[in-house]
Amino acid sequence: MTSTSQKAEPFDAVDVIRTKRDKGVLSPEQIDWTIHAYTRGVVADEQMAALNMAILLNGMDRSEISRWTAAMIASGERMDFSSLRRPDGGVKATSDKHSTGGVGDKITLPLAPLVAVFGVAVPQLSGRGLGHTGGTLDKLESIPGWRAALSNDEMMAQLQDVGAVICAAGAGLAPADKKLYSLRDVTGTVEAIPLIASSIMSKKIAEGTGSLVLDVKVGSGAFMKDEARARELAETMVALGKDAGVNTVALLTNMNTPLGLTAGNAIEVEESVEVLAGGGPEDVVELTVRLAEEMLACAGVSDADPAAALKDGRAMDVWNRMIAAQGGDPRAKLPVAKESETIYCPADGVLVELDALAVGVAAWRLGAGRARKEDTVQAGAGVRLHAKPGAAVRAGEPLVTLLTDTPEKFARAKESLEEAFTIAPEGSRPAQQLIIDRIA
């Protein structure tokens, strides 16, 4: 005799898989059930893996992706910043930024306090690095005392008082995404644009920000190497944001060359502080200011001058308060690697190419990144560049310095850099455009 106490499921996973396998369109009810059932454990990993592969091969239309994203948001909590108040008593606008990841991409660090200067709250929920792309939280954790984990109440209090917070996302935001992400990673379905877009946007929409600027990297050091696919991803995410009522724009930005002159953790914090002090590499400053302008415009602030706020110290003031609010000492000395090794320029000429992926892999191999999520990182490890493409170089001058606490890592790091630098005879190098396009 079988029990009838358990409620029957309204759909069968195999039927859902067949629909997408045969290039059909999943109904809103099928999508809602699939995400909910997978989160509950009713849909098995192997069944979701098959569905993910069908989505990779056959795609989803806009309505499917939007519903898939909404279902993932509904799997957990959704934050609400409507209690944040301006000095006049009105609701404080919120604006956030998401980068798809690159090499030397420390933009979040100066950007969050810069936008907060103008009265817009920045709830920046960030992650850790994996592989050759660095993680914002790993960088900030090189600051003595700084902590990434905040409760929702702590986050809200800091946003009200300081105006900016960079912290880890809580487990309650889009828990379905965490489960799906791990499965995609081991089943060859990471590249599916509907799944990438819904993964990113479910967390960002659940975060509750009023507006969002996406920095979609394209090039050798980016997740998306091809501009057409990067553009498709950007357009998909902008559409998802708009469907959810979040004012969303995207910038396509160049990641063939690392951003700035550092790739690592503490050394990227150091470079970010230089930008906040009114200096720093031109490309880091340019992208920070442009993203700030976009975030402020999305939040309804049109008369701001972010470049001036970097120059006059206002952004630095917010940075110091933001770091201190999370237990960090913004004036403490940052960790320094125990060992260093310099690679010298082999010939006179002009540096015409500097491969971002190779630099990112070198930093990772030196200990700045992790191969698995549970790995630890070295705060002081990384790569310091002495020249960027377009610079005149001379034989025997320093080209790059490798930093690590474990000198046995130098050999493999150097292997990754063997083809990273292209030096041509004296001449000019055509300028590469940092910001490729804007998508709104």
The residue among 109, 101, 96 whose CA lies nearest residue 207 is 96
SS3 123: strand
Six-digit token pair at 253?
Answer: 């930005």
The residue among 168, 153, 162 whose CA lies nearest residue 116 is 162
The residue among 272, 336, 253 whose CA lies nearest residue 136 is 272
Q: Which of 106, 184, 217, 384 is catalytic?
A: 184
What is the C-alpha to C-alpha distance for residues 287 and 109, in angstroms, rounded to an integer? 12
What is the C-alpha to C-alpha distance for residues 154 and 126, in angstroms, rounded to an integer? 16
Beta carbons within 8 Å of 131's beta carbon, 6+ residues apart: 360, 364, 369, 370, 371
Amino acid present at 21: R
Six-digit token pair at 150?
Answer: 């905040």
What is the C-alpha to C-alpha distance for residues 141 and 286, in angstroms, rounded to an integer? 25
**Torsion-angle region of residue 66: left (phi > 0), alpha (psi -120 to 50) or beta?**
alpha
98 counts as catalytic: yes
88 counts as catalytic: no
Backbone angles phi and psi of 433, in degrees to 5: -75, 125
Q: Which of 138, 177, 243, 283 is catalytic?
A: 177
Q: Which of 132, 139, 203, 290 is catalytic?
A: 203
Six-digit token pair at 299?
Answer: 């939040």
For 338-382, where are the alpha helices, taking DSSP H only? 356-363
For 75-213, where are the alpha helices, taking DSSP H only? 108-116, 136-140, 152-161, 175-186, 193-207
Q: Which of 199, 202, 220, 416 is catalytic?
A: 199
184 counts as catalytic: yes
Strand partners, 99: 215
What is the C-alpha to C-alpha distance for residues 257 and 255, in angstroms, rounded to an integer? 5
- In the numeric block, the tokens 């600051």 are attached to 143
Order of strands across the sheet that contains 421-424: 392-393, 349-354, 421-424
Alpha carbons within 13 angstroms on the beta-carbon side of residue 141 total 19
What is the C-alpha to C-alpha distance for residues 262 and 219, in angstroms, rounded to an integer? 18
Alpha carbons within 13 angstroms on the beta-carbon side of residue 351 total 24
Alpha carbon of 368 to those of 98, 203, 263, 402: distances in Å? Answer: 21, 26, 8, 11
Q: Which of 98, 139, 179, 314 is catalytic?
A: 98
Catalytic site positions? 98, 177, 184, 199, 203
